[in-house]
Amino acid sequence: MKVENNKVVTVHYTGTFPESEEVFDSSKDKDPMAFLVGHKNMIEGFERELIGAEIDETREFTLTPEDAYGNRNEEAIQEMPRDQFPEELEIGMMFQAQSENGPMQFTIVEVMEDVVKIDFNHPMAGKILKFSVTVIEIRDASEEELTHGHAHGAHGVHE
Ligand code: ZN
């Protein structure tokens, strides 16, 4: 069996920033990750690079921001009054704001006397990402998983 759309694939993965070689996420020492291929559960490039892989195969690939979390948009950096935030405020803290399109996450980038600079960009936007991914298991998705558009864990049970 090979990785293709509508399969549930279980992988071990390590993601690094190629410039600093810093690991930003890894399934090492954790359970492997299962996902349904072809239903936008993963970033686009991640799935594309795994198509055709077989069990026990390891693939290494580097994704541009376009294939990962998108480019940064400088207009997504905004200022808000300082008094709308708690007293204890640190750079890098994340909050949620209500918008017309539902909740949106933002990150504190600068704290000044009267205003706080916030960034609505995804924290991974604009970044080049390198992955090493090993395929552990491939199975057909159940009807229920296809209807829901996501994987239901290792044995197809809803979690
Ligand atoms: Zn479900």
pLDDT per residue over 63-101, tens digit each?
999 999 999 999 999 999 999 999 999 999 999 988 888
Q: Are 38 and 140 in contact (CB under 8 A)?
A: no
Contacts 24+ apart (CB under 8 A), 20-27: 24/124, 24/129
- In the chain, which residues fall in CATH 3.10.50.40? 7-69+125-148
The per-residue pLDDT for range 104-141, each reduced to its tens digit, is 899 999 999 999 999 999 989 999 999 999 999 999 99
Alpha carbon of 145 to ligand 1 centroid (Å): 6
Distance from residue 57's CA to the centre of ligand 1 (Å): 28
Instruction: State the fold for domain 7-69+125-148.
Output: Chitinase A; domain 3 (3.10.50)
The amino acid present at 111, given as its one-letter code, is: V
Question: How far, in Å, is the centroid of ligand 1 from the Cα of 71?
Answer: 31
Instruction: Let me know if domain 74-119 sits in CATH 2.40.10.330.
Output: yes
In the reported structure, the alpha carbon of residue 147 is separated from the centroid of ligand 1 by a whole-number distance in angstroms of 8
Is 0.95 surpassed by the pTM of this model?
Answer: no
